[in-house]
Structures are given as structure tokens and as C-alpha cells.
Amino acid sequence: MRQHADRAPKVVINHLRALRAARGWSQQHLADLLEVSRQSVNAIETGRYDPSLPLAFKLAELFDLAIEDVFVSPSKEQ
């Protein structure tokens, strides 16, 4: 299916996979901690889905990090 770059918002880059791997957590374990499905964690990690602010904050708090340490602001992307 054709992508519409001008319609679809750019996905925010995140460090979720690296952070999760550093803690030795599986996607399923992280999903259980977040009370979401494993598909959701996979979709966020692979950049298919940007989480809502409440879920992004929950993620950051799980890793005991600031939200900017998990998600890269589009204005600061290189």
C-alpha cells in the first residue's frame, strides 16, 4: 500500500529497544509492566506507532528516565 509521506506524521525516534535490552527484558515482560499487548511494544519499538503522552510517560518512568531520554524530539534529530 502506498505511503503518503505528506499525510502521515513522521514517527518519533525512540531508544526503547536498547533500553529494554540493557535490562534484559523481553517485549512481553515490558508489555506486562505497561499493561498493554506485546504488539503495542513491538509497534512502538519498530517505529510503527507513536504512543500517547500518558503511555510515553509511563514508559519513561518504568526505566526511571526522563521522557527525552527515551524519545528523541523531532526538532533535535540530526
Binding site for another protein (CB under 8 A): 1, 3, 28, 31-32, 35-40, 43-44, 46-49, 51-52, 55
Question: Cβ(50)–Cβ(20) under 8 Å?
Answer: no
Minimum Å distance from CB 1 to another protein?
Answer: 6
Minimum Å distance from CB 3 to another protein?
Answer: 8
Minimum Å distance from CB 40 to another protein?
Answer: 4
DSSP state of 71: B
Q: Which three cell numbers stand for residue 25?
A: 527484558
Compute the distance between CA of residue 21 and CA of residue 30 in angstroms, rounded to an integer: 11
